[in-house]
Amino acid sequence: MRSPAHAPAADHHVRDEAAELVRAPVRIADAAAVRLLRPGDRVDILAATRVVASAVPVVAIPEQPDSPSAPASPEENVLPDAGGMGGALVVLAVPRRVAAALSGAAVSSPLAVALC
């Protein structure tokens, strides 16, 4: 039986990439656009004229307290949003480097979302 230390290089790379995924909460400027999203959707995240993250999966959408379309009872992938900063939060599964790029982009530009 082969040990993980002797796994093929390509297989090792795939595991490393999957291990590097993090859940990144991202505030989208247009809350109405976030209400169109569902966990499992793939989205692009845009800052001004550039794409910061491409075809990344939505893993959760925090419930918006003032949203008329907010569900009456929380679902597994709907979390309370305590932000109160305008816009709406969406949680994405992204590599660590993309999470850092999203955080940096949000400092200088409102973020937008596009469904893939």
DSSP 1: -
pTM: 0.69
Q: What is the pLDDT of residue 71?
A: 47
Pair of tokens at residue 42: 């793939």
Q: What is the pLDDT of residue 16?
A: 56
CB contact at 8 A, 10 and 86: no
Is residue 27 scored above 50 in pLDDT? yes
The share of the chain scoring above pLDDT 70, in percent, equals: 66
Lay out the sheet containing 42-47: strands in order across.
21-28, 88-95, 50-60, 42-47, 111-115
Cα first-last separation, the chain: 42
